[in-house]
Amino acid sequence: MSDQKTERLINLTMALLATKRFMSKAEIFNQVAGYSGTTETKERMFERDKDDLRTLGISIEVGTHDPLFDDELGYRILENGYELEIGDLSPTQISYLSLAATIWRNQLFSSTGSHALVKIDALNGTGFREDFGQATLSLENETPLFPALWEAITNSYRISFTYRSSSTTRRQMLPYGLSLWHGSWYLVGYDLDKEEIRVFKVSRIISEITVESKAHSFSLPTEFTIEDHLVMLAPEPRINYVARARVGRCQSLRMNAQISNIDAEWDRISFTLGSDWLEQILWFGYDLVLESPLEKVEEITSVLREKL
Amino acid sequence: MSESALDRVARALDLIPFIRQNPGLSVVQIAQRFNTTPTQISKDLSLLHMCGLPGYSHLELLDIDYEDPNYISVTEAQVLDQPRSLTQMEALTLMLGLNLLAELSSASEEREVIFGLQQKLKTIYGESLSRSISTTEAIIESPLASEILSAITQGQFLTLTYNSATSDAITVREVYPISIQYLHGVGYLKALSVAQGEDRTFRLDRIVSIDKGRIEPNFSTNFNLSDFNNSDETVEIQMGHDGLFFTERHSAIVTSFQEFDGGLRISLSVSAGEWIIRTLISWPTKIMIIRPIELNQRIQERISGILGNYQ
């Protein structure tokens, strides 16, 4: 972008912020520095400039000078839409907001976080912040599709994408929300083919997000609460296992187990496990020998034979 | 990296209120805060110096003092004295950050401050933030995380009782904690091991207990810290379609994978022999080890040994 255009956009923003009444196009072209050329050229410039400012999140209000004569439209930017109005913040609150903005070690969120932080520091100055010392916290979730999904959710776009799980399929859905669970993003939405609310792991979406409708093509059901649909939050059924564990080994299992000694080499331990029982037991190799339930013993030996 | 056309306008509009509230910073310091170069900030400032309100006399222009690059200030901000409102993505970033801090904090007064801020953001930025985002169990919680974090802040030594999954043993060691990092939801403590004089990484959920020791801020500045991951061996495996789930689970060590013969061929970069043996044996389906051959032999022997226990 040329310096002239950057300068013109800043001048336009300032002029529309300063005006109390709506400024007509003619006034803008006459008064705001940077508009030159034929009327048509200026009109085209102004249309592009308005779009650019909207892209920056600056909303331009359109209205008329005089409610009785609505033929000439005017423009202005309202302070209360433009300015950050978060109310008074205490030093502690500012410190927490700063920490929340800088917690991320992820390209997308660390960049939006640092933008947010510059704005917060423009409220009260950096000197106002309490020091949290050298504690560093970071998350690492590369989420290239996140902005497109979030835009689809906030604009209520119908979307489609290619999803890879046990098979690869094209899915059409109404996106309702996103959940960060154990470090991964999940998309919750109404699957238009399955006709029910489904959860999709975002990292398994292997295409771009295609927008299939205009904005506001659906509204979030009034009774919708994202947590109700997160299957991973439901408590997992656990069952009881009894095994021989070599003395001094199988430490993680022993932490929540009932233990009785058999001999110098073995203890008998009783514990519960969820759906990942097979992995948990096999992790301890020949230091753990499952005794019951019998069907699980049979499953373990058959899995092991297959792995040979 | 070239910036998008509008990024410059956004930055220019944000520079004025920022400098106004933080007078006396240098061009270099401002550039750091705005993730750009000092040259770019200087260009922005001279451009802003030409901008103002209609009339454009010295009374209407922005007045910026930037002759001394070590002391920048704004004398007249005109209508740009307040920062712009947060974008939805910026508000969302703060919201998510606050949620994670709440999950990590143990004191109720901390949670109250965080909750108050979340309410403020929700009120301003609408229902999407409250109804369409969930961070319940965003990370795997560890009850000791907040205490360890406070030890990091104070520069306090810790005696850790640690349950190592790889060696299947509980050990006690004195460490100087440096940072907590969450990778794919799992929390790790990076700390200097006092006995070895080297940095080590501990999974938070495997720390059984901690004892707090002496306080010595900046102790770690005497040491060069190595990278977070220290991998030196390539392992190549082949498995069925569930290989996709294997690559998801172990994405930190997967260097590449491709469809092969109705399944997946996966390359891994790992350092611990014992860890990879246990990981491959405990995966519930068959995994062929292409290389190294010795690893395949060790795993086959181990599986035979386990089966022997059941006969």
Measured between beta carbons, the chain B residues lying within 8 angstroms of A112 are 87, 89-90, 92-93
Whether residues A101 and B93 touch (CB distance < 8 A) is answered with: yes
| Residue B284 counted as domain residue | yes
Q: Which of B6, B18, B248 sits opposite A121 (nearest CB)?
A: B18
CATH number (domain holding residue B245):
3.30.70
**Pair A56, A75 in one domain:** yes
Contact between A75 and A46 under an 8 Å Cβ cutoff? The reply is no
Structure tokens at B245: 């789930």
Do A158 and A186 sit in the same domain of this protein?
A: yes
Q: What is the pLDDT of residue B196?
A: 80
Domain boundary pick from A82, A97, A127: A82
Tell whether B160 is covered by a domain: yes
Query: Closest to B306 (Cβ–Cβ): which among A13, A304, A306?
Result: A304
Whether B251 contacts B243, CB under 8 Å: no
Domain boundary among A82, A103, A122: A82
For an interface test with A, the pick among B134, B158, B228 (most A C-beta atoms closer than 10 Å) comes out as B134
Neighbours of B214 (CB within 10 A): 9
Give B210-260 pLDDT, tens digit per residue: 999 999 887 877 666 555 445 578 999 999 988 988 998 888 889 999 988
pLDDT of residue A131: 57
CB contact under 8 A, B138 and A180: yes
Does A193 share its domain with A245?
no
Mean pLDDT of B296-310: 95
User: Do residue B22 and residue A164 have CB atoms under 8 angstroms apart?
Assistant: no
Given B173, B193, B222, which residue is the final one in a domain?
Answer: B222
Highest mean pLDDT among A65-74, A192-201, B150-159: A192-201
| Chain B residues with CB-CB distance to A104 below 8 A | 93, 97
Quickly tell me which residue has 């400039």 as its tokens: A49
Q: Residue A2: what are its φ and ψ, rounded to 5°?
A: -75, 160
Instruction: Mention every residue, 6+ apart, whose C-beta is less than 8 A from residue B197.
Output: B223
- Residue A128's pLDDT band (boundaries 50, 70, 90)? low
For residues B192 and B151, membership in a common domain is answered with yes
All residues at 6 or more sequence positions from B265 whose CB lies less than 8 Å from its CB, including other chains = B236, B237, B238, B257, B258, B290
To 5 degrees, how large is the angle CA B144–CA A272–CA B240? 95
Type of residue numbered B113? V
CA distance B195 to chain A (A): 23
| Res B1: pLDDT | 44
Domain end (from A206, A233, A260): A233
The domain spanning residue A13 has which CATH number? 1.10.10
Residues B284 and B243 sit within 8 Å (Cβ to Cβ):
no
Q: Stretch B265-288: mean pLDDT, rounded?
A: 91
B255 within 8 A of B267, measured Cβ to Cβ? yes
Smallest Cα distance from A42 to chain B, Å: 17
Q: Who wins on pLDDT, A132 or A85?
A: A85
| B chain contacts of residue A15, beta-carbon cutoff 8 Å | 53-54
Whether chain A has a CB inside 8 Å of the CB on B90: the answer is yes
Chain B hits for A262, CB-CB cut-off 8 Å, are: none
- One domain, residues A65 and A14: yes
Nearest to A112 by CA among A147, A145, A138, A87: A147
The CA distance from A132 to B180, in Å, is 14
Within an 8 Å CB–CB cutoff, is residue B165 touching chain A?
A: yes
Decide if B286 and A306 are in contact by the 8 Å CB cutoff. Answer: yes
Give yes or no: residues B108 and B163 share one domain: no
Edge-to-edge strand ranges of the sheet holding B287-291:
B254-260, B263-270, B233-239, B287-291
**Nearest-5° Cα angle at A198, A193 to A202:** 105
| Residue A232 and residue A226 in contact, taking contact as beta carbons nearer than 8 Å | no
Please give the pLDDT value at position B169: 93
What is the CATH number for B45?
1.10.10
Overall number of domains in chain B: 4
Least reliable range by pLDDT among A33-47, A249-263, B216-230, B288-302: B216-230
Task: Give the residue from A251, A256, A280, A295 with the most B CB atoms within 10 Å of its CB, the best one to mutate.
Answer: A251
Interface of B with A in 256-275 (CB under 8 A): none
**Cβ(B185)–Cβ(A181) below 8 Å:** yes
Q: What would the DSSP string read from start to end of B221-245?
A: GGS----S----EEEEEEE-TTHHH
What is the pLDDT of chain A when averaged over all its residues?
90
H or E element that contains B5: helix B5-21
- In a domain, residue B287? The reply is yes
Are B61 and B107 contained in the same domain?
no
With an 8 Å Cβ cutoff, are B186 and A121 in contact?
no
**Domain membership flag for residue B138:** no
Tell me the per-residue pLDDT of A206-238, one tens digit each, with 9 for 90 and over: 999 999 999 999 999 988 989 899 988 888 899
Instruction: Find, in chain B, the residue whose alpha carbon is nearest to that of A48.
Output: B6
Per cent of chain B over pLDDT 90 is 58
Asked if residue B57 and residue B103 are part of one domain, the reply reads: no
| Mean pLDDT value across chain B | 89
Average pLDDT over residues A47-65: 90
pTM recorded for the entire structure: 0.83
Domain CATH code at residue A206: 2.30.30
pLDDT at residue A29 tops 80: yes
Q: Tell me how many residue pairs between chain A and chain B have CB atoms under 8 A apart.
A: 333
Q: Is 50 exceeded by the pLDDT of residue A134? A: no
Q: Are residues A157 and A134 in the same domain?
A: no
Report CB contact under 8 Å: A10, B13.
Answer: yes
Lowest mean pLDDT among A98-112, B17-31, B193-207, B271-285: A98-112
CB contact under 8 A, A182 and B185: yes
Residues A136-152, mean pLDDT to the nearest whole number: 80
pLDDT tens digit sequence for B94-141: 998 898 888 877 778 888 999 999 989 988 887 677 788 888 888 888
Domain finish residue from B32, B54, B76: B76
Q: Which pLDDT belongs to residue B225?
A: 59
Mean pLDDT across A162-180: 92
Q: How many domains is chain A partitioned into structurally?
A: 4
The domain boundary residue, chosen from B67, B96, B131: B131
Residue A238's alpha-carbon distances to A227, A272, A274, A297, B282, in angstroms, are 22, 6, 4, 16, 19
Interface of B with A in 209-228 (CB under 8 A): none
Based on the domain organization, do A161 and A227 belong to the same domain? yes
Sign of the Cα pseudo-torsion (B47, B53, B56, B61, in order): negative
Q: What is the ipTM of this complex?
A: 0.83
Contact B134 A166 (CB under 8 A): no
Higher pLDDT, B107 or A290: A290
By the CB < 8 Å criterion, does B249 face chain A? no
Contact B185 A183 (CB under 8 A): yes
Facing B84 at nearest CB: one of A82, A204, A225: A82
Identify from A29, A89, A181 which residue to disrupt to test chain B contact, counting B C-beta atoms within 10 A and taking the largest count: A181
- Residues 67-86 of chain B with CB under 8 A from chain A are 78-80, 82-86
- Is residue B123 situated within a structural domain? yes
Provide the 10 A C-beta neighbour count for residue B171.
11
Asked whether the beta carbons of residue A104 and residue B97 sit closer than 8 angstroms, the reply is yes
CATH of the domain at B193: 2.30.30
Contact present, B69 and B26 (Cβ < 8 Å): yes
Nearest-Cα distance to chain A for B277, in Å, is 9
Range of the domain at B149: 145-222
On whether residue B83 sits in a domain, the answer given is: no
Task: Identify the domain containing residue A130 by its residue range.
Answer: 87-140
**Residue whose entry in the numeric block shows the structure tokens 């997000």:** A209
Residue B268 has φ and ψ, to the nearest 5°, of -120, 150
Phi, psi of A264 (to 5 degrees): -65, -25
Instruction: List the structure tokens of B38.
Output: 């000092």
Position with higher pLDDT, B300 vs A184: B300
- CA-nearest residue of chain B to A100? B97
